[in-house]
Amino acid sequence: MLADPATLGNRPDAAREALFEPHYWAARGELLAADAGRGAVWFIASGRQSWVLRHYRRGGFMARISRDRYFWSGESRVRAFAEYRLLARLARRGLPVPKPIAARYRREGFHYSCDLIMLRIADAVPLSSVLCEAALSDGAWRAIGATIARLHHSGVDHADLNAHNILLDRNAAVSIIDFDRARVRRRGAWASRNLRRLHRSLVKVSRQSPVDRFPESAWDSLLAGYDTYRADGALPL
């Protein structure tokens, strides 16, 4: 198990393991909500904090073979551990990502399953949900572009940058989530692929919405924010 000692303190291993079980939180009346996506996600309360508990699940064709089992190739390749370490690294640099709390895996022979607990970003909702309700300002689109540029300047290749993984809070502050399979790389064509993936996602989620939710000018503003930050430059990790 990987864990933030400042948050979990000196809890014994059994107590730490219980934190990854939704029924533990339900019994305490602290299971706030659940969400279903590529992974199984629960929102939970822990004292004064809200956490996100994520159980890793497969998507696409592989989900037909196994919903949540991955081939064991060593502890260093455990997906929850990789995401925990990357999030910790990015959070230390002040990037707008969730702070990791703990990660674990359970191995059974040649396969394993895994879970990750993160600090929930307060009062933040996915960009996809925001666009269902209202149009964004030019400044908000620029802020989204600048935030993506911050990640790219740090060499972060986000494997699934889409409208569901970009969060906005009440003040339109931008955060990015879901760093499963993300990695730090040298600059390359992957940055453009990230942006193209996001554009396809925005087109898809706004297809049934009023035209003001994602006009061409919105993407232009996002790219302007991205390019402005890129021109200013940033230090690599």
Query: Rounded to the nearest 5 degrees, what angle is found at the Cα of 21, between the Cα atoms of 18 and 24?
Result: 70
What is the distance between the alpha carbons of residues 191 and 97, in angstroms, rounded to a whole number? 18
Active site residue 169: no
Q: Within the chain, where are the H helices?
A: 5-8, 13-18, 22-27, 62-65, 79-92, 127-133, 138-153, 190-205, 216-232
The answer to whether 121 and 99 are in contact (CB under 8 A) is no
First to last CA, the chain: 25
- DSSP at 137: P
Question: Could you say which of 160, 169, 220, 227 is catalytic?
Answer: 160
Q: Catalytic site residues?
A: 160
